[in-house]
Chain A
């Protein structure tokens, strides 16, 4: 309790930051690949947050149940990302578009 910021709190705050950055990117970026990347950053933030909060205990390692759940979550995120990229390729090959909006020129970041 000497440090004003305990390590788990610092990492959890990083997790919140990553989640916020990812959320911002998900809403603001129009390009689907950027949206997929933003979703992954959000997911990374959630994983970091979860595993950091699991370290609040006084044992020598983080709570194993959240650790296992995060490991499972990473595999699921991998599958979801791969499927999303396949969908994006399909979208491009069908419509020659890389965004979901009709007026893709209007958006600033693409």
Chain B
């Protein structure tokens, strides 16, 4: 906004100042903002009215879920829905994550998810804290995974905690995280999707049906699927955070010869 000068002035000047002020207010950006505000307001009003007119439902589809809970192999309804009743949702969710990391690497014009060790952090607080936290986070993730059977928890929560532990380990310059060969990382990325695929194929071949488990083995199958999903989610989440940094940091060239060679080959193709 332009400042309007105060004090007496000639009528002609007032007119030009007014014009200038109006011009600054009525720009295209402000017009757009006004338009968007009005349409957002209208949209919100419609949504609120719809919401208020919704009837209070006694059951929803909760009774259907609770009625079949005994057959699902787990005792927490959300886990039962996620991994048994609507298992294909979770399967494709992990598929989306695999696509996300692949697409991210494509955009960066890379084919690897190698994590270079960054130089070990000289800060004792960071390294000490990570040394203390990393085992606890692995433990907490495992606990969350196990908790999913009968309470809020499960593969996603565990995967995110493990992914955070991986990022922390990488940030503190631990070489062990980067030392795993690239095939291992890809294996872990594809583990969840692959396990779902294997179980689905096995189910069709044996005669269970696609992602349908008989009640007596459902618990074990769900546990296997959850472990695979958690590992995949952890590695993909950590890789999505870490890989873009590896490409743009100056220490990249000196950090690992193998990575350099790979990078050279990729850059040569550009």
Minimum C-beta distance from A68 to chain B (A): 4
Instruction: State in angstroms the CA–CA spacing of A53 and B82 once bound together.
Output: 19
Partner of A76, one of B29, B56, B93, B108: B93
Given A53-B54, A75-B96: A64 and B244 interface contact (C-beta under 8 Å): no
B231–chain A nearest beta-carbon distance, Å:
14
- Least Cβ distance of B176 to chain A in Å? 24
Please name the residue on chain A nearest to B51 by beta carbon.
A12
A82 within 8 A of B: yes
Name the residue in A12, A53, A61, A63 with the highest tally of chain B Cβ atoms < 10 Å from its Cβ. Answer: A63
CB of A9, distance to nearest CB on chain B (Å):
7
**CA–CA, A27 to B241, complex, Å?**
27
Residues of A within 8 A of B51 (CB): 9, 12-13, 16, 53
Cα of A59 to Cα of B64 in the assembled complex, Å: 13
Contact of A108 (CB < 8 Å), options: B30, B47, B58: B30
B99 at the interface (CB under 8 A from A): yes
When the two chains form their complex, are residues B107 and A56 in contact, meaning their CB atoms are under 8 A apart?
A: no
Choose one: A24, A64, A107; the contact of B37 (CB below 8 Å). Answer: A24
Q: Which residues of B lie under 8 Å from residue A56 when comparing CB positions?
A: 54, 56-57, 60
| Residues B244 and A89 in contact, CB atoms below 8 Å apart | yes
Inter-chain contact A86/B96, CB cutoff 8 Å: no
Q: Closest chain B residue to A16 by CB distance? A: B47
A64 CA to B85 CA in the complex, in Å?
11
Q: A17-B44, A83-B100, A107-B29 are in contact. Are A58 and B82 (CB under 8 A)?
A: no
Query: How many inter-chain residue pairs (CB < 8 Å) link A and B?
Result: 127
In the complex, chain A residues 1-36 whose Cβ is within 8 Å of any chain B Cβ? 6, 9, 12-13, 16-17, 19-20, 23-24, 27-28
Chain A: how many interface residues by the 8 Å CB criterion?
44
Size of B's binding interface in residues, CB under 8 A: 53
**B268 shortest CB reach to chain A, Å:** 18
Chain B residue numbers with a CB within 8 Å of A63 are 60-62, 65
A9 and B53 alpha carbons, distance in the complex (Å): 11
How many angstroms from the CA of A106 to the CA of B32 in the assembled complex? Answer: 12
The distance in angstroms between the C-alpha atoms of A73 and B63, with both chains bound, is 23
Q: Which of B13-50 contact A (CB under 8 A)?
A: 27-30, 32-33, 36-37, 40-41, 43-44, 47-48
Do residues A57 and B57 form an inter-chain contact, with CB atoms below 8 A?
A: yes
Query: Are B107 and A20 in contact (CB-based, < 8 A)?
Result: no
Chain B nearest CB, measured from A25 CB (Å): 10
CB of B32 within 8 A of CB of A67, answer no
Which residues in window 44-72 of A have CB below 8 A to B?
53-54, 56-59, 61, 63-65, 67-69, 71-72
Q: Which of B28, B44, B108 contacts A16 (CB 8 A)?
A: B44
